[in-house]
Structure 1
Amino acid sequence: MDNYNTSSPLNYEIKIEELPKLSSLIKESSIWFHSIELDYRKKKQMLVVRFVGARNMLLNQTYLDVIEDQLNQLQQSIISPLIKKLSSNFVIKLSVDSKGRFSFFDTALELKVDCGVGLNMHDAFREPFAVLMPFALYSTHIEFKGQRHRATDVQSYIRITPDELAEVLDSPIIAPRTRTQWYHIADQVYEEAQQEYRYKIDVPCIDGELYWDNKIDTIQFTLYEKDQKVRA
């Protein structure tokens, strides 16, 4: 932990094996925070930890003990299971109350999976959907992105508890209706992405079903590319 990176005042890069030492970092820097975000980078086997709060605060031992306990719970019930059972990047966001207790009852989880490179829609979305579909009931919206006329990645925004997460990871069930409906949407995404140099679209998800009619997309026009529409 001696060589942690502080690229901005409350951002820290740590290796996965250093996670148990995070409470010591908080104590040494006297960090008081009301939210924490942990961004897992699979390729580098590291976490970017972001605190929203302040340094050099006067913290009592009770607060530090609660923070240490909550970080242990976070590692055991959320981070370690995700790393062990999912091969994808993820972001965890939790609010923290004034006593240092984390909002595990409403964990914000973001899962991002790259699309496959193949000849058809099923090749592109097979891996992302295998990871994301079991979380369908807990997903609030799904973001599809494309670059250079092909779909590149899918990101799911999820609200979940540790118990619900454990259930999904232990028994990753995909409902037939979900599979059919998501691939129907993916077919439209795949065709649209082929027509755009840059593509981004956000589709609401309610009770596991994607609502294409309520999608949100971003359209960008570039002056130097005549008559070319770019979704960014």
Structure 2
Amino acid sequence: MNPTPTSMNSLPDRYTALVAGASGTIGQAFVRQLRADPRCGRVIELSRRSNPPLQLDDEATLAECARSLAAQAPLHLVIDATGALTIDGHGPEKRLEELQAARLQHAMTINAIGPALLLRHLHPLLATGERVIWAKLSARVGSIEDNRKGGWYGYRASKAALNMLLQTAAIEIARRRPLTVVAALQPGTVRSPLSAPFVGDAGMEPNAAACGLLAALDRIEANGRAHFIDYKGEQIPW
């Protein structure tokens, strides 16, 4: 049973939304929810399958995506649903002995550096003088304060780095676009190919996660800082 679609009432009527990572499980769920919102004027999809393709480890493709989107600006809602838990065929490291430089670097590229460069290239296309939301899927395990179990070195570190990049960007963006909300999102454990090796069939439906996150984003107030929230809208410690 699909949840009732969330209407983004805090955004301008006929707002333009963009979903990066739109071919993934939760990316597709965001696209479905946004297309069902009667207040949404357009939903743009970026992924490795789009034209031009989005490749987080190739900055030239990020710049080309930005150039191709210029005619469809301004953007009011950007949801970056990219990310990887399994790197080069390997799951999260549980012990120090499992750490390898190449995999750690790849995790940083996909989960932190690539998304930051996407923000770099797309932020000039954000609307000015209107409410804007930039939301990026993060993870609760990226919280340094909340880390009580250890393990998952590369994934934790890359998400923590992502969170710092988002916080720093939020401060800068607010100087020119004070109505902008920047948020790091914890979607919960969503049933997807990404989580299947670790939780099996457990977890929540992607549509429910997307609906909850959109509702939470709609309630957030711009305050010149980034927010770190879960799908219920509850704050997560950095």
Q: Quick check: TM above 0.5?
A: no
In our comparison, the structure showing a higher alpha carbon Rg is 1
More strand by share: 1
Q: TM-score, normalised by structure 1?
A: 0.31
Q: TM-score, normalised by structure 2?
A: 0.30
Structure with larger RCO (C-alpha < 8 A, sep 6+): 2
